[in-house]
Amino acid sequence: MSKKKKVRVAFKKNRQKRTRANDLTRSYGQEGTSPAEAASGERVRAKGELSRHRTIVTDVGDAGDSGGSGKDESDPAAMRSVDFATCVSGRVIRVHGLLSIVEDEEGRAHSCHVRRLLKTLAIDGRNVVAVGDRVWFRPGGSSGDEGLIEKVEARHGTITRGYRRREHIIAANVDQVLIVSAFEQPGLKLPLIDRYLISAEMGGVRPVIVLNKADLVDVALYQWIIGLYTQLGYETVVTSSANGHGIERLREIVARGITAFSGQSGVGKSSLLNAIQPGLNLRIREVSDWTAKGKHTTTTAELIRLESGGHVVDTPGLRQFELWGVDPATLEGHFVEFRAFIPLCKFPDCSHTHESECAVKDAVYWGRIHAGRYESYLKLFEKEPFDTD
């Protein structure tokens, strides 16, 4: 039987009052403040960062316990202790607004809210609960009331991006991600593929590059792209939902584990899923004739069980993709073709942007590193957001 332990965790950062970065009135009159006036403004209780903490109860002790000591203490939502006698284990299959649809071990779906306590914990994410999360929830009553998610288990296999200075978890607990792009309508965006590859590596997810809508182009003209990523060690599949090209290979890939389908709007993710499992009948829309950009057909991520085996997460199309949690100093290691040249640079802390005698830049000059991949590196190093439009 596990023991209980109280720990202090921080509030969510958006509980703080926002301050302007260039507040010119902040320093007005400070030099003329007398000691007496300063003392009258002192508080017994700390205000701001020092007081934004609360106490939660966690499970410690048995290693095999759901809340055992092996938990990552950087994830307060996974540390929290719950009453396992009244809670049920399940997996989030869809998040729609304030409601999360959770599937229990017997396959029944429950509409659940998220306990307020989880929302106030210091989680840097935009969403407390993501599709694919393993959770413990208290089912609603027989009258059809919504349940309540009490705990979110520690995640593995995540696809994330930065969104408005917060972490947005696109899918959690997935084994692989299919990075879907289209030859035409709306067209290939290689920098976006590069960002997905880094996000997958950071999240511990196997990436597969899917180049869709092959029926619209002469694929021979794009063999250099297929060869580029294949030589880097990434599986690349050419597909077309219109004529069935590559669909059988995709069906084999998604039959193992949990797979996330992700990419920009209009690349045909839902069409591919409809081709993999006929009768799925996911909504699809054409690319806009006016803007030549994809339209948002899938508006919320959903975990789908396939008849041929495996699960897939159909995610909404993205129009912006900013990496989250990437340190520019370690960015070089996420470009696999850089690794052989990094030790040959003159300076051990070479950023490969402006330094002289840089082996990486020399490799780009001599064609041993593709110039487009190096351009992706430079934009990421400067933390430039990528707009798929």
- Kindly state the average pLDDT of the residues 47-64: 54
- Kindly state the average pLDDT of the residues 296-307: 76
- Kindly state the average pLDDT of the residues 290-310: 68
**Amino acid 167: pLDDT:** 84
Residue pair 95/103 in contact (Cβ under 8 Å)? The answer is no
Of the pLDDT bands very low, low, confident and very high (cuts 50, 70, 90), residue 296 is: very low
Domain ranges across the chain: 55-152, 159-321, 328-387
Question: In angstroms, what is the C-alpha Rg of the chain?
Answer: 25
Superfamily of domain 328-387: Probable gtpase engc; domain 3 (1.10.40.50)
Assigned fold of 55-152:
OB fold (Dihydrolipoamide Acetyltransferase, E2P) (2.40.50)
Overall CATH class of domain 159-321: alpha beta
CA dihedral 39, 43, 48, 53 (to 10 degrees): 150
Residue pair 272/250 in contact (Cβ under 8 Å)? The answer is yes
Mean pLDDT of the chain: 80
- Look at 20 and 79; give whichever has higher pLDDT: 79
Nearest CA among 152, 150, 107, 108 for reference residue 129? 152
Highest mean pLDDT among 43-57, 352-366, 370-384: 352-366
The answer on pLDDT for 169 being more than 50 is yes
- Kindly state the average pLDDT of the residues 321-348: 92
- Cα–Cα separations (whole angstroms), residue 142 to 137, 146, 255, 387: 15, 10, 36, 47
Residue pair 268/188 in contact (Cβ under 8 Å)? The answer is no
Q: Encode pLDDT of 93-151 as tens digits.
A: 998 878 899 999 998 999 999 988 787 764 556 678 899 999 999 988 766 678 899 98
Q: Encode pLDDT of 222-257 as tens digits.
A: 999 999 999 999 999 999 999 999 999 999 999 989
Helix (H) or strand (E) holding 168: strand 166-171
Q: Encode pLDDT of 182-191 as tens digits.
A: 999 889 999 9
The answer on pLDDT for 323 being more than 60 is yes
**Amino acid 284: pLDDT:** 60
Strand segments (E) across 36-117 = 53-60, 88-96, 99-104, 109-114
